[in-house]
Amino acid sequence: MFRRLSSNTDNLHLGLMLALTFSTGVVDAVGYLGLDRVFTGNMTGNVVILGMALAGADGLPIIGPVVALLSFMLGAVIAGRVLRPIKDGWTARSTGLLTAVAAIMVALAVTLILYGGTPPQPQEYIVTMFLAIGMGIQAGTARHIGVKDVTTVVVTSTITGFAADSRLAGGKGQPWFRRGAAIVLIACGAATGALLLRLGLGWGVSLTGLITVIVAILGHVGARESARRAAAAEIELVD
């Protein structure tokens, strides 16, 4: 099955980005339910929460959303700097960045599982910071890989396209599978993250780390296979 997917780079990348979309739902559930209502992947949610908190709404956090926003931006900056000189698509640098994200998630998961509960402040903000940095790196990497309609961290624009391009809105067709899958998978990821919180804060992060490791490996192998086929095709043309 993987060989068939790797023969079509677009389909492989779509599948991998959808897997990361699911993992983002898991991480956001961990952040919102386990880290004092903070999103570490969906920055729109943080901006809204922060705006309401600054307006004086009771019980809403300020420091957590600020930490998440700045950390996410730092992660995206790192990804942008690393990938800027490289052509769009999956490269060895994409693999390296996603491997770094996986390493962050695994380290956090081990720490949280060993700790056995939600860390107190300010340690809680450190967890938020590293989760958001990882999500920022992931989002920047996904942006560079460039799978249309699948950013891995937010589905608002995807939902807009899904509705605006539907036959109900007068549209004549759309990439409904990728849009629908992205919406469903981030919701399923959030549900899975909420369920895993019953076992402890670290288990949802563990699942995210595992998914990211698998995505990095499959993406790297797929990129090498694609490069090998391209080189073989060039040799055939020369012959």
Model pTM score: 0.91
Q: What is the topology classification, in CATH, of domain 2-238? A: Growth Hormone; Chain: A; (1.20.1250)
HEC string of the chain? CHHHHHCCHHHHHHHHHHHHHHHHHHHHHHHHHHCCCCCCCCHHHHHHHHHHHHCCCCCCCCHHHHHHHHHHHHHHHHHHHHHCCCCCCCCHHHHHHHHHHHHHHHHHHHHHHHHCCCCCCCHHHHHHHHHHHHHHHHHHHHHHHCCCCCCCCCCHHHHHHHHHCCHHHCCCCCCHHHHHHHHHHHHHHHHHHHHHCCCCHHHHHHHHHHHHHHHHHHHHHHHHHHHHHHHHHHHHHHC
Print pLDDT tens along the chain (239 aa).
555 555 678 889 999 999 999 999 999 999 999 988 899 999 999 999 999 999 988 889 999 999 999 999 999 999 999 998 888 889 999 999 999 999 999 999 999 999 877 788 888 999 999 999 999 999 999 999 989 889 898 888 888 888 888 878 877 777 788 889 999 999 999 999 999 999 999 999 999 999 999 999 999 998 888 777 766 666 666 55
Q: Where are the domains of the chain?
A: 2-238
